[in-house]
């Protein structure tokens, strides 16, 4: 069964790129526009998610908040969380790690970089 990845970003083009790249590589991608949307889709889908990719700067519920609520949710315990950061966000990266993110990828990234990081985390 295809692995399910929840991709969260408020940028439509990034969402499209992530979804396109990962679907192409055989993953099932659910996308969400912000943290709130992500949590709703997670609860609504009922299916298990194998990985979460999230941007940090988002309206309503930002990436850090999303990571914190995911880590507090036993249903998605131990699921790898990849955060999308920009170089200027070193402190945010640390914050994200402390909140429980598994890894990060620095924007801008190429589709190959994204795929290799996803493979590293969930194979």
Partner 1 sequence: MIDHRQAFQDEARELLSELESTLLELDEKREDNELVGRAFRALHTIKGSGAMFGFLDIAAFTHGLENAFDRLRKGQLTVSQDLIGLSLNAADQIKKMLDAAAGLGAADLTRSEAILTELRFLIGAPETEMAAAAATPPPPAPVQSGPAREWRIRFRPSREALLNGTNPLRLIDELRQMGDLRVTVDASAIPPLSEINPEHCYLAWELMLTTPSDANSIRDVFVFVENDCELTIEPTDGAAVEPETPAAPVQPAESRRAAQAAAAGASSIRVSAEKLDQLVNLVGELVTVQARLSEVAARREDAEVLAVSEQVEHLTSALRENSMSIRMLPLRATFERFRRLVHDLGADLEKQVELTLEGADTELDKTVIDQLNDPLVHIIRNSMDHGIETKEARRAAGKPPMANIHISAQHSGANVLIRVSDDGRGVDVEKVRKRGIEQGLIQAGAQLSETEIVSLIFAPGFSTAAKVTDVSGRGVGMDVVRRNVEALRGSIEVDNKPGTGLTVTLRLPLTLAIIDGLLVRVDDDYFILPLANSLECVELTTSDIEDAHGNHLANVRGQLVPYIRLREYFQMATQKPEREQVMVVETEHGRYGFVVDQVLGDHQTVIKNLGRIYRNVSVVSGATILGNGTVALILDPHRLVQNAIRAVSHNNPVVGRKNGRARDRRNQNKSNTRKEVTIDAT
By CB under 8 A, name the one of 26, 46, 88, 91 that touches partner 1.
Answer: 88
**25 makes contact with partner 1 (CB under 8 A):** no
Number of residues written out for the chain: 123
Contact between 103 and partner 1 per CB under 8 A: yes
Contacts of 96 (CB under 8 A, 6+ apart): 56, 63, 64, 67, 83, 85, 104
CA distance 18 to 21: 5
* Contacting partner 1 within 48-77 (CB under 8 A): 51, 57-59, 71, 77
User: Which chain residues interact with partner 1 by CB under 8 A?
Assistant: 10-14, 16-17, 20, 51, 57-59, 71, 77-81, 84, 86-88, 97, 100-104, 106-110, 120-123
């Amino acid at each position: 069964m295809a692995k399910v990845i929840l991709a969260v970003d408020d940028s439509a083009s990034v969402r499209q790129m992530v979804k396109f790249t990962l679907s192409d590589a055989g993953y099932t991608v659910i996308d969400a526009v912000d943290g709130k949307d992500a949590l709703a889709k997670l609860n609504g889908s009922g299916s298990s998610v194998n990985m979460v990719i999230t941007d940090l700067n988002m309206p309503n519920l930002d990436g850090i908040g999303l990571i914190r609520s995911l880590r507090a949710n036993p249903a998605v315990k131990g699921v790898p969380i990849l955060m999308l950061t920009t170089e200027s966000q070193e402190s945010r990266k640390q914050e994200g790690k402390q909140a429980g993110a598994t890894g990060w990828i620095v924007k801008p990234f190429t589709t190959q970089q994204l795929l290799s990081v996803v493979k590293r985390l969930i194979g």
